Structure 1
């Protein structure tokens, strides 16, 4: 039997650009507060707020926007002008309306694997925003299932791959985040395929599990079909 029957795909920074828009907005935010610290200082305060707020707001643009508002209040000791708050909210709305930018090889790779394997899109973040991006991508019909989750861990993958596949042992997760996509999928018993992206959110950093037998890294999504075939033959 084939070693893999189900393939999970991350969305943000795996199928389409995401982090670059957060970085650009962070620069815009730091410029608004330039009188209260340099970019590095403002960015560090914002990251600290994001970490504190993850358990409350979850992942995504709305939580990021609220963290910017909170940071602006903190660094100005509550004296931030209303005009700056308006600019922050406008920046958040701009992010929520920005057209998606598919990454190289994304659609062609998903098309090649569709039909031969059960494909599941597994992403975390704001429900409306993730649904919007998937609809804009035009790739929604290629997936057998879509799971938008609050977080990604070993239990998440065990549950999803049991629901939509033959269990994690016969499943593979493909994504740019070692922390969210690769390590927990391997911990669940599946394969973890790392597709590095040039930008990675600080909270998503993790060490590559190079000693894990089911860990692989590819340079881009275009290399995935050949890797899946190799694993299938070995299984």
Structure 2
């Protein structure tokens, strides 16, 4: 499918699992959480209950490590029928703090891509999650200076992107979004007549997965690495 990128003036980047590693730490945390609660339930059931709690809490806590920590604590209370020890609760909080303090590991080619594209295009960062945590990761990444604008969104739906583009006075036809999530970084943009490129990460949170029916007929490119963007956008 040929897609015309010649009108692009502004390029948006997702952050987590597009610029740096993120989801891997959540998977590791889920494994550690499962071990902590293994005396009460099977690992598979613990995973299911934690995910269900995260979904219930999305509208209250939003996204990010702090929201995940609260969902782990609530799940531990529920799974243990409120018998979980203070020591285990502390261990859960330590899992979350360890996630927050992880070093920022840039994905392959990130700096080359940003450095090259920033010479011709305005670049913006459009991510969701906890504001303080995302600001901290961006600072650690050393990538701040490449971005004309940085936006931490409460969610990534059509209305969120439309509001952002209107605020920055960007026409959808002149905007390209690059990210690892079809649900958050690609389909909403296609639906508002903007452009999107999908660069999958090897691990995807279940909440971000979409069906083939949802992507059928949508005009976007999927690349195997971020560096391949430079073959499409010059």
How does the TM-score come out when normalised to structure 1? 0.94
Moved over 4 A (4+): none
SS at match of 1:52: helix
Does the 8 Å CA contact 1:178/1:207 hold for their aligned counterparts? no
Q: Which residue is 2:206 aligned to? A: 202
Aligned-partner Cα distance in 2 for 1:112–1:210: 32
How does the TM-score come out when normalised to structure 2? 0.94
CA RMSD of aligned residues (A): 1.3
- Please give the residue correspondences for 1:56-205 in structure 2 after superposition, counting only pairs within 5 Å: 56-164=60-168, 166-205=170-209
1:206, distance to aligned residue in structure 2 (A): 1.1
- Unaligned segments of structure 1, at least 5 residues: 230-235
Aligned-partner Cα distance in 2 for 1:207–1:119: 30
1:165, distance to aligned residue in structure 2 (A): 5.1
Does the 8 Å CA contact 1:172/1:191 hold for their aligned counterparts? yes
Aligned length, in residue pairs: 228
Alignment equivalent of 1:7, drawn from 6, 11, 15: 11
